[in-house]
Amino acid sequence: MERFSQRHPVWTAIIAVAAAFALWLIFAVWPDWLIDLVGRKKIFLNALFNGVTLGALYFLVASGFTLIFGLMRNVNLAHGSLYLFGGYVGYEVATLTGQWLLAFPAAFFFTAILGTLMQTLVFQRMEGEELRQTLVTIGISIVFADLLLWIWGGDFYNIGLPGWLSGPMDTFFITSISRRTGEFIFLKYPMVRIVILAASIVVGVGMWLLLNRTRVGMIIRAGVDDRDMLASTGVRIQLVFVGVFAFGAGLAGVAGVVGGSFQSLAPGEDIRFLLASLVVVIVGGMGSIPGAALGALIIGTAEQFGSVYFPTYAVVLTFVIMVVVLAFRPQGLMGRA
């Protein structure tokens, strides 16, 4: 952080001003001219919050994807299938037991098993052959998509929320001042989204701690930096690979439950979330967890602001962000050159 500010003083200043302006937008009561210009603050805050929570969901999917790539150089294009599979499993478990919370460990467990199988049965046999591995993941995603369609059909599924999570929650963000009473009006926001955001932050911080504060994490980070070194230190590298693949897959499964809870599950969602992961890690930087967080935040908010303020070109906005990043920083915002 300090090094960045020393090396790029102008950028640091621009970012600081932008951050201050953003904070003002979020916390201040908007003056009338601003409302005339961009609309009511409630809409802005809602777009922002939806963007951040969508970003949280993207982060859950993309962090597994980027972790797998970082360590094994495996571009897992079947990652979206794992997401959808996890969502369906979560749906079945939640409907069967009536316990929403049970859906998470179940989805994690079963997708992790699936990931373990993929790594041990398929990818271990073609280690180092990046292109062939990627082709295989494409094949797997085609097969999975059809198998999932066969089992669950083309209907939309929605994982029902428990009572304590449904409904809005009062926040401390002011949307406006009531004209009649002169009191502050606070933003009401769906409880479930706030819980999901908090959970994603917990997962993200947990992953960061795991990677930076534990021995296993040290091994994984060393492996991302230099795979040969990992093999030469006598670590059972295959075990680490399987573990990371299982964990990354499990995260995708958990994300599937999250997505199925506040959006819905249907064929095609696998591709959608695969693409979201791709864009997030291209923007954030391949193999970097903080990069995935930053990329997810940018893409999530860009998508939501885009759909609110210029609906026809919302997709293009995401794409433009990706192109600009590729053009000026091909390795991604947090990626290493």
Partner 1 sequence: MASIDTHADGLTSQSWVERIPAHYYFIAIALISMPVFAGDFILFQIFGWTFILGVISLSLMFLAGYGGMVSLAQMTIAGLAGYMVAIFGNSAIDTISQGWPWYVAIPLALLIAVLFGTIVGWLAVRTDGIYTIMITLAIASAFFYFTRQNYVIFNGYSGFNGVLPPQLFGIDWRHPVAFYYLTLFWAVAAYCSVVYISRAPFGLALQGVRDNARRMAALGYNVTAHRVAAYAFAALLAGIGGILLTWQSGQISPGTAGIGPAIDILVIAVIGGLRHPVGPFIGAFIYVLLKTFAVDVLLSLGLAGERFQLLIGLGFLIIVFWSPDGLLGLWERFRSSRSRDPLTGRNGGGREL
What is the amino acid identity at position 131? Answer: L
Query: Least distance (Å) from partner 1 to the CB of residue 106?
Result: 26
Which one of 14-22, 52-60, 135-143, 219-227 is the stretch in contact with partner 1 (CB under 8 A)?
135-143
Task: Please state, in angstroms and rounded to a whole number, the distance separating the CA atoms of residues 90 and 260.
Answer: 8
Q: Determine, following the binding rule CB under 8 A, whether residue 333 of this chain makes contact with partner 1.
A: no
Q: Determine, following the binding rule CB under 8 A, whether residue 258 of this chain makes contact with partner 1.
A: no
Q: Please give the size of the binding site for partner 1, defined by CB under 8 A.
A: 40
Q: Determine, following the binding rule CB under 8 A, whether residue 121 of this chain makes contact with partner 1.
A: no
Residues in Cβ contact with 120 at an 8 Å cutoff, skipping those fewer than 6 apart: 242
Q: Determine, following the binding rule CB under 8 A, whether residue 132 of this chain makes contact with partner 1.
A: yes
Query: Least distance (Å) from partner 1 to the CB of residue 193?
Result: 24
Q: Determine, following the binding rule CB under 8 A, whether residue 37 of this chain makes contact with partner 1.
A: no
* Token pair of 127 as six digits: 């280690």
Q: Determine, following the binding rule CB under 8 A, whether residue 71 of this chain makes contact with partner 1.
A: no
Q: Which of 95, 144, 152 is nearest to 115 (CA)?
A: 144
Q: Which helix (H) or strand (E) holds 190?
A: strand 184-190
Q: Residues 146, 152, 155, CA angle at the centre, nearest 5°?
A: 105
CB 67 within 8 A of CB 248: yes
What is the amino acid identity at position 247? Answer: F
Query: Least distance (Å) from partner 1 to the CB of residue 312?
Result: 5
Q: Which helix (H) or strand (E) holds 188?
A: strand 184-190
SS (H, E, C) 49-61: HHHHHHHHHHHHH
Task: Please state, in angstroms and rounded to a whole number, the distance separating the CA atoms of residues 156 and 266.
Answer: 5
Q: Among 143, 177, 205, 209, which residue interacts with partner 1 (rule: CB under 8 A)?
A: 143
Query: Least distance (Å) from partner 1 to the CB of residue 67?
Result: 15
Q: Determine, following the binding rule CB under 8 A, whether residue 138 of this chain makes contact with partner 1.
A: yes
Which one of 32-40, 51-59, 255-263, 308-316 is the stretch in contact with partner 1 (CB under 8 A)?
308-316
Helices 215-225, 237-262: inter-axial angle, 10-degree rounding = 100
Query: Measured from the CB atom, is 221 or 329 closer to partner 1?
Result: 329
Which one of 103-111, 187-195, 231-239, 319-327 is the stretch in contact with partner 1 (CB under 8 A)?
319-327
Give the binding site for partner 1 (CB under 8 A).
73, 75, 77, 129-132, 134-136, 138-140, 142-143, 145-147, 149-150, 271, 275, 278-279, 281-282, 286, 312-316, 318-319, 322-323, 326-327, 330-331
